[in-house]
Amino acid sequence: MSNAPAVKSPIIYWFRQDLRLHDLPGLSAAVATGRPVLACYILDDQSPADWRPGGASRWWLHHSLSSLAGDIEERGGQLMLARGAPATVLAQLAEDTGADLIFCSRQYEPWARQLEDELFASLTEQGVTLKRFSGSLLWEPDTIKNLAGLPFKVFTPFWRKCRQLSVAFESPPAVRLGKWPKTSEPTDQLGDWALLPCDPDWANSWEDRWQPGERGALDKLGRFLRGAVADYDKGRNFPARNATSGLSPHLHFGEISPARVFRAAQQAGTANPTVENETEKFLSELGWREFSHHLLFHFPSLPEQAFKADFAAFPWVGSAVHLRAWQQGKTGYPFVDAGMRELWQTGYMHNRVRMVAASFLCKHLLVDWRAGQRWFWDTLVDADLANNSCGWQWVAGSGADAAPYFRIFNPTLQAQRFDKAGEYIRCWLPELAALPDRYLHQPWTAPADVLSSAGVMLGDTYPAPLVDHAGARASALAAYAEVRSQ
């Protein structure tokens, strides 16, 4: 009889929106079994066409996968890349390797949940078990309910309930990962997927601004908690200040766990009472992320349908011409245009400016919020279905816990309050840089000689306003009154 130890069948770890090795419960559980762990990522072309990764997300995904592959190689492993339907790819990989277990983190988009259920059933028929773990959120959305046993629709009681719950302890990192057998060589190279723009390469400067991957996420968190957090509560509203964490794309792609961010922020507040209020405010912003996913989980039509039923009949009469001007940062309102230029040039927009720019599209131009949502989906590196949908519906007035419809941001007053010296506007609209401060936020009010000396020609070097604020506000309120009357 042979005394050779039995060969253990491998476990396949299927990476999704959890592109990290630390604090990843599913991966830690796989490694803890003592079996070889084989890592794969599948570029899924089966999700709804409208919600496949946009251009900015594809750029980030390329660099994040490159970083993850390098981290896995340092641990003796190999990240397999495959493109296609996950059910087909995973079934074939399990057959090729003899794996009878596939571990992954849950996702919460409607099609992702459906895919998991279908995969569980089809793999079970093949004798393979799919095990799903938390990894993207602090708490599972279906575990948080109000006193009536129903999902929350208002943030404050939702967050009050969440703060009564514990946050998971850190799970140990994967120490070693396995290499795929020669019978299952990677079918793709990362470059095969053409995730990066090339003609034109509109992201050619992004690598100077962003560092996708787990190391970049940890560095971003550390720098924030050592510095900018001290000004977070007030400073986060001023786009020219560096008072935000910049963690949103890292969280979306799962390069850092929200639990790790939560614990680190909480510890920073405990260690330094002078920033405790700031860290609490930051934690509540993590709470909004949880709330958005909670809503999407319980109301999966959120990206396509108004959460408040009366908004289904809202007369969105905005034109394609106005939509295009907004996309290009040519509305004639400098604060809005600066935000749209920042978005195009960096894949990001400061959150205060996001609210103002989104409100302008919906309430000044009467363009359907879904058109803005899709533009953000394509151009934001942190495009996230739950956050994006909830944010747009909140601004439009049709969402859960939304701002009242009659709250219409005045883009000029917002600029004067949050960019008084014009640092943000001058950064992204250099054609207005020479205008005096008193005219910078509303250049159409500047005398002709002031415009001329600043090199500004309205309608040429910078557009005249698409609409008048007072008239646009009145039109929006009239449209809303019409819907209410029905």
Contact status, residue 367 vs residue 476, Cβ threshold 8 Å: no
Helix 334-346 to helix 320-327 angle (10° resolution) is 70
What whole-number distance in Å separates Cα of residue 469 and Cα of residue 411?
A: 8
**Residue 93: closest CA among 183, 200, 209, 205:** 183
- b/e sequence 292-310, b meaning 16+ C-beta within 10 Å: bbbbbbbbbebbebbbbee
Contact status, residue 60 vs residue 162, Cβ threshold 8 Å: no
Give the angle subtended at the CA of 302 by the CAs of 345 and 319, to the nearest 5°.
55
Q: What is the DSSP letter of 458?
A: B
Structure tokens, 332: 């004639």
Contact status, residue 180 vs residue 38, Cβ threshold 8 Å: yes
Q: How many residues does the chain have?
A: 486
What whole-number distance in Å separates Cα of residue 242 and Cα of residue 310?
A: 39
Catalytically active residues are 285, 288, 316, 351, 369, 392
Structure tokens, 26: 């599913």
For residue 372, give every residue at least 6 positions away whose Cβ sits within 8 Å of its Cβ, in sequence order, or none.
326, 358, 361, 362, 392
Q: Is 153 helix (H, G, I), strand (E, B) or coil?
A: coil
